[in-house]
Each structure stands twice: as C-alpha cells, then as structure tokens.
C-alpha cells in the first residue's frame, strides 16, 4: 500500500497536469504600445491577471526586446513562465531569463488556453495526442478527464458520472451522465454516443440541460456539436 507520495525515501514525485495557461500572443514589438494595452486590459480584470502564469508567443513580434518585455510584465504583476515556439535567436536569452521553452510536440504545456489578452490567429496547436480510452463503466460519482485529446469510453457512463475531454468525447454505450467536450474553448470538439440518455451536454462552454435535449434524440446514436453558438444534436449514421 506504499503509494509513492508516502514513500519516505522520495523527496518529490512528478505529476503530469494540464493546468490551463494564458498565452500572450504579441503582434507588436513596441514595448510602449504593449504597456499601454496591458494597463487597460489588466486594469479591467485585475484579479484574473494577478500573478497569472503567462506563456509568451512571439510569432507576431520576432524583434521584441525580450529582457525589457519580461521586466515590463513582471511590473504589471504577471508571471511569464515560458516561451512558445521561440525563434532560435532568442532561446539562450530566454533560458538565462528563467523562462522555459515550449517547442512543438514537447509535452503537455504545449497546448495552453488561448486567452483574452488578444484574439489570437487560429490556434497554433498541432501536436496530436493519443487521448484516453476507458473500457470499464464510468460509475456515479466518478470523473474521467482526457487532457489535450479525445476521450473514448467503451462502457456505459452512469447517471451521476462525468466524462470530460479537451478534445472529443466518444461513448460507445449508453451515455447517462454528464459529458463535456472541448472544455478549453475548442468549439470544434464533438460528443458522440451510441445511446443518448445524458443529464448534461457541454462543448466549449455551450451546454444543454437534460430537459433541453430533444426528446426525439433520446436513446438514439447521436453526435453533438456547436453550430452558430448553440449546441445541436444530430442522429448518427445513414440518414
């Protein structure tokens, strides 16, 4: 029963997480302009930004003076932690400033939440992960979460259970509990199930409560997707 956390021999354990991070996508390398916008943005929702860990994306501002930028952000009580897809020229400097480098495909933090600081160009995320497959029933009170990818469930999801994914949710059995897909604002995510009996459906924050799910879709094989800012439920298979 000695779980690694309790093992007195070990000073620490490593755990994967998928903590959502805010990305600052720069479009200008003009520090003054950046500062002006920061003052208003951070001023509007100061609690959201207080010491918030920040990933920097310099794609639109390759020539920025990195040391000055970092100092500026810290002055505004932001905590830059990493550089995403850094140009080669900036890598050494980033490391010396204590920033981590997020290179395409190097792991979990490579797919952070796109933030409201600036509306970014289409998501840069390409690293496909294998996702999570569950073969046993998901019972009442249990939550299964697939960070970064799809969740595939091959057994029933009970009423009172919750299945959650950053990508799509597939349930090849009755879905009686709650299903949430694209939880980090991925509106293109979908929910698929072979028998829809769900209590709650949500994609990227849009949702349907049990009594809003169309009666005609109950017990049917369906897909659920976002269209025009609403969740729609469609029959699966040949029409």
Partner 1 sequence: MSKVIVVTSGKGGVGKTTTSANVATGLALLGYRTVAIDFDVGLRNLDLVMGCERRVVYDFVNVIKKEASLRQAVIRDKRVENLFILPASQTRDKDALDVEGVGRVIEDFRAAQFDYIICDSPAGIERGALMAMYFADEAIVVTNPEVSSVRDSDRVLGLLDAKTRKVETGERVKTHLLLTRYAPGRVAKGEMLGYADVLELLGIPLLGVIPESKAVLQASNLGTPVILDPTADAAQAYLDVVARFVGEERPQRFLDVPKRGFFSRLFGEPTAYAG
Contacting positions for partner 1 (CB under 8 A): 1, 136-142, 155-156, 158-161, 176, 197, 215, 218-219
How far apart are alpha carbons 42 and 123 in whole angstroms? 23
Paired sense of beta strands 191-196 and 222-227, if any: antiparallel
Q: How far does Cα 70 stand from its chain's mean position?
A: 24
User: Among residues 3 and 17, whose Cβ is nearest to partner 1?
Assistant: 3
Please state the closest distance from residue 199 (CB atom) to partner 1, in A. Answer: 11
Distance linking the first and last C-alpha atoms of the chain: 53
How far apart are alpha carbons 209 and 188 in whole angstroms? 20
How far apart are alpha carbons 6 and 141 in whole angstroms? 26
User: Among residues 123 and 141, whose Cβ is nearest to partner 1?
Assistant: 141
Query: Is the CB of residue 209 less than 8 Å from the CB of residue 179?
Result: no
Please state the closest distance from residue 163 (CB atom) to partner 1, in A. Answer: 13
**Strand order through the sheet with 178-181:** 143-146, 162-165, 178-181, 200-203, 206-209
Please state the closest distance from residue 210 (CB atom) to partner 1, in A. Answer: 12
User: Among residues 100 and 217, whose Cβ is nearest to partner 1?
Assistant: 217
User: Among residues 167 and 177, whose Cβ is nearest to partner 1?
Assistant: 177
Using alpha carbons, select from 170, 159, 230 the residue that is nearest to residue 197.
Answer: 159
Please state the closest distance from residue 197 (CB atom) to partner 1, in A. Answer: 7
User: Among residues 57 and 197, whose Cβ is nearest to partner 1?
Assistant: 197
Please state the closest distance from residue 208 (CB atom) to partner 1, in A. Answer: 16
User: Which residues 6+ apart lie within 8 Å of 212 measured at CB?
Assistant: none
User: Among residues 63 and 214, whose Cβ is nearest to partner 1?
Assistant: 214
Please state the closest distance from residue 138 (CB atom) to partner 1, in A. Answer: 8
């Amino acid at each position: 029963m000695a779980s690694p956390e309790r093992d007195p021999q070990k000073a620490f354990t490593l755990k994967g997480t998928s903590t959502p991070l805010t990305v600052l996508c720069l479009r200008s390398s003009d520090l003054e302009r950046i500062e002006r916008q920061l003052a208003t943005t951070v001023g509007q929702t100061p609690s959201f930004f207080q010491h918030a860990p920040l990933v920097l994306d310099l794609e639109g501002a390759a020539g920025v003076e990195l040391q000055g930028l970092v100092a500026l952000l810290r002055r505004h009580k932001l905590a830059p932690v990493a550089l995403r897809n850094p140009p080669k020229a900036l890598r050494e400097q980033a490391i010396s400033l204590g920033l981590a480098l997020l290179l395409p495909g190097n792991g979990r933090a490579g797919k952070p939440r796109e933030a409201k600081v600036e509306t970014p160009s289409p998501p840069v995320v390409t690293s496909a992960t294998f996702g999570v497959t569950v073969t046993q029933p998901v019972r009442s009170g249990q939550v299964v979460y697939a960070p970064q990818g799809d969740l595939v469930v091959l057994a029933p999801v009970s009423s009172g259970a919750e299945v959650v994914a950053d990508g799509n949710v597939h349930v090849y059995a009755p879905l009686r509990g709650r299903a949430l897909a694209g939880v980090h604002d991925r509106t293109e995510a979908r929910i698929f199930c072979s028998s829809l009996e769900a209590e709650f459906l949500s994609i990227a924050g849009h949702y349907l409560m049990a009594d809003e799910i169309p009666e005609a879709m109950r017990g049917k094989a369906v897909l659920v997707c976002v269209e025009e800012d609403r969740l729609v439920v469609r029959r699966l298979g040949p029409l």
